[in-house]
């Protein structure tokens, strides 16, 4: 089984974000693998551990994306490819999806392409569906459990607000994975060593065999949300029951519930 997992490099979730001249900045905070994509890598690895086969990590990004790729390799992916093209600056989701789909086709022979649920920086969450549409493959999004997977079919549980849904789809298929899937593994020392020594081929958009896609969405204005005023109030009482009752009253009074 051949599985491709798409990973993105994002600012650490602990980074302080700000907007400067209509551009988002995270200062010099380190870039890390998109946390959701660690679940995607975990799912891809578990599938090949059960089925045999290889996992290839794919990322579109600049030099900085190498950290995300190395992390995926250290977790156990056997190869990685970086699509690095300065002309992609200013890209939108459909442009990103077109390049990823083209790269997936160029790699060829994939049975499953796994995505994270969304990227924690731009939070669009549409890349997996768009890539599936471009490839003409079924998309099974928000997967919380892979119930069964054979060489030709996959049965999975989807986690939605309303509950769980079981779906089946034929391979090849695009999946996006949510946290309920299970904790991603830590890289082992041997994985890290392999990753540190791996050479990661870099492709331009032209190498994937398509013309440079142009963005259709623009961001005319980006602003920071207004700062919220926060006040603290410690609720006191002689016993936990009394404190709980006061807290409940307060919550009702403030119309939080």
Ligand X SMILES: Cc1cc2nc3c(=O)[nH]c(=O)nc-3n(C[C@H](O)[C@H](O)[C@H](O)COP(=O)(O)OP(=O)(O)OC[C@H]3O[C@@H](n4cnc5c(N)ncnc54)[C@H](O)[C@@H]3O)c2cc1C
The stretches of 56-207 forming alpha helices (DSSP H) are 66-75, 93-107, 127-135, 189-197
Between CA 188 and CA 35 the distance in angstroms is 18
Residue 119 touches which member of ligand X, another protein, none, C-beta under 5-8 Å by kind: ligand X
How many of the chain's residues bind ligand X (CB under 6 A)?
Answer: 31
Q: Is residue 17 within 8 Å of 122, Cβ to Cβ? A: no
Determine which residue in the list 66, 79, 104, 118 makes contact with ligand X, applying CB under 6 A. 118
Strand partners, 148: 155
Q: Which stretch binds ligand X (CB under 6 A): 87-95, 136-144, 153-161, 182-190?
A: 87-95
**Strand pairing class (79-83; 54-60):** parallel
Which partner, ligand X, another protein, none, binds residue 145 by CB below 5 to 8 Å per kind? none
**Residue 25 interacting with ligand X (CB under 6 A):** no
Kindly give, in sequence order, each residue whose CB lies less than 8 Å from that of residue 43, ignoring residues fewer than 6 positions away. Answer: 114, 143, 146, 175, 177, 181
Binding of ligand X by 134 (CB under 6 A):
no
Residue nearer to ligand X on the CB measure, 54 or 249 = 54
Which of 40, 55, 73, 142 binds ligand X (CB under 6 A)? It is 40
And the tokens for 97? 């999806």
In terms of Cα–Cα distance, which of 157, 162, 193, 196 is closest to 177? 157
Which does residue 92 touch among another protein, ligand X, none (CB within 5 to 8 A, set by kind)? ligand X
- Which of 36, 137, 181, 203 binds ligand X (CB under 6 A)? It is 36
Q: 226 near 233, Cβ under 8 Å?
A: no
158 binds, among ligand X, another protein, none (CB under 5 to 8 A by kind): none
d(CA 117, CA 122): 12
71 binds ligand X (CB under 6 A): no
195 binds, among another protein, ligand X, none (CB under 5 to 8 A by kind): another protein
In the complex, the residues that contact ligand X under the rule CB under 6 A are 6-8, 34, 36-37, 40, 59-61, 88-93, 96, 100, 115-116, 118-119, 122-128, 219, 222
């Amino acid at each position: 089984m051949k599985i491709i997992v798409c990973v993105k490099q994002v600012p650490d979730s602990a980074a302080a974000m700000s907007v400067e001249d209509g551009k988002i900045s995270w200062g010099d905070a380190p870039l890390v693998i998109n946390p959701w994509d660690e679940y995607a890598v975990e799912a891809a690895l578990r599938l090949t551990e059960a089925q045999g086969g290889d996992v290839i990590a794919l990322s579109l990004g600049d030099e900085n994306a190498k950290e995300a790729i190395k992390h995926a390799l250290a977790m156990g992916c056997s190869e990685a490819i970086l699509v690095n093209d300065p002309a992609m600056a200013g890209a939108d989701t459909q442009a990103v999806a077109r390049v990823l789909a083209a790269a997936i086709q160029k790699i060829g022979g994939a049975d499953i392409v796994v995505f994270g649920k969304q990227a924690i920086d731009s939070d669009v969450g549409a890349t997996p569906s768009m890539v599936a549409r471009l490839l003409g493959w079924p998309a099974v999004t928000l997967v919380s459990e892979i119930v069964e997977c054979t060489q030709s079919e996959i049965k999975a549980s989807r986690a939605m607000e309303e509950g769980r849904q079981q779906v089946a789809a034929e391979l090849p298929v695009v999946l996006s994975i949510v946290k309920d899937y299970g904790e991603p593994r830590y890289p082992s020392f041997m994985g890290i060593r392999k990753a540190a020594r791996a050479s990661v081929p870099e492709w331009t958009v032209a190498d994937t065999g398509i013309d440079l896609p142009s963005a259709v969405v623009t961001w005319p204005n980006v602003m920071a949300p207004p700062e919220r005023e926060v006040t603290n109030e410690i609720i006191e009482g002689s016993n936990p029951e009394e404190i709980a009752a006061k807290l409940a009253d307060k919550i009702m009074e403030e119309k939080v519930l």
